[in-house]
Amino acid sequence: EDKVVQSPLSLVVHEGDTVTLNCSYEVTNFRSLLWYKQEKKAPTFLFMLTSSGIEKKSGRLSSILDKKELFSILNITATQTGDSAVYLCAVALWSGNTPLVFGKGTRLSVIA
Amino acid sequence: GAVVSQHPSRVICKSGTSVKIECRSLDFQATTMFWYRQFPKQSLMLMATSNEGSKATYEQGVEKDKFLINHASLTLSTLTVTSAHPEDSSFYICSATTGTGVETQYFGPGTRLLVL
């Protein structure tokens, strides 16, 4: 059975801290790994990672994939209260419709 | 770009009634749309995959006669929860891709269903 495991499940940090969110996976026919940010409504796309060792960066967020060890990390530096959200990791599989398998998410709370 | 809308955003209904949720891709054509359900503090669970002009593919454990999906055009998919019961209360989210086999999915804002 395909599965995606995220850790920690929840995290509370102070503004300015740096956080690292983890995502490991065991799937057949791995295609890519995606990170989403979910606030009160639907997830918004952050990154898609396909190749190992290539860091994707967007402002204070960055992510990297290790296809040998089957995991990815999402880093957020200088956290702000607006970063408070659930961060979802999903793996896309090679199949006709490319379904996504989601982890349970990491709930990040940034306090002032 | 890649905006997906859902309507309604919130619905409250009595047990036994049917509820239709619309998912639209506003600025692109979506050959494939996905329907997810999310219970409180849980992750997204894929219910079904919808391809324009063909029957939806349902995940194991999802009743196709209860959750009717229609994908009549490249910009619209609908999910109808038939004879809704309180246990169907959940957050329903659709997503769309810009092409068959494209892995990046763009999500709608979700529909919160409460069945009394």
At residue B1, the pLDDT reads 64
* Chain B: closest CA distance from residue A3 (Å): 12
A38 - beta bridge partners? A86
With 70 as the cut, is the pLDDT of residue A13 above it?
yes
Could you tell me if A105 and A39 are in contact, meaning their C-beta atoms sit under 8 angstroms apart? no
Report CB contact under 8 Å: B34, A100.
yes
Nearest residue in A to B30, CA atom: A97
C-alpha pair distances (Å), B85 with each of B79, B82, B90, B116: 15, 9, 11, 7
Distance CA A3, CA A103 (A): 7
Percent of chain A with pLDDT strictly greater than 70: 97
User: What single-letter amino acid sits at B34?
Assistant: F
Average model confidence (pLDDT) across chain A: 93
Nearest residue in B to A4, CA atom: B43
Nearest residue in A to B6, CA atom: A42
Report CB contact under 8 Å: A42, B97.
no
| Cα A95 → chain centroid | 22
* B58 interface with A at CB cutoff 8 Å: no
Residue of B43, B57, B104 for testing the chain A interface, max A β-carbons within 10 Å: B43
Report CB contact under 8 Å: A48, B43.
no
With 90 as the cut, is the pLDDT of residue A40 above it?
no
* B3 interface with A at CB cutoff 8 Å: no
Average model confidence (pLDDT) across chain B: 91
Distance CA B105, CA A92 (A): 10
Q: Which residue among B45, B102, B106 places its CB closest to the CB of A98?
A: B102
Q: Which residue among A32, A41, A88 places its CB closest to the CB of B103?
A: A32
With 90 as the cut, is the pLDDT of residue B43 above it?
no
Distance CA B48, CA B80 (A): 12
At residue A20, the pLDDT reads 98
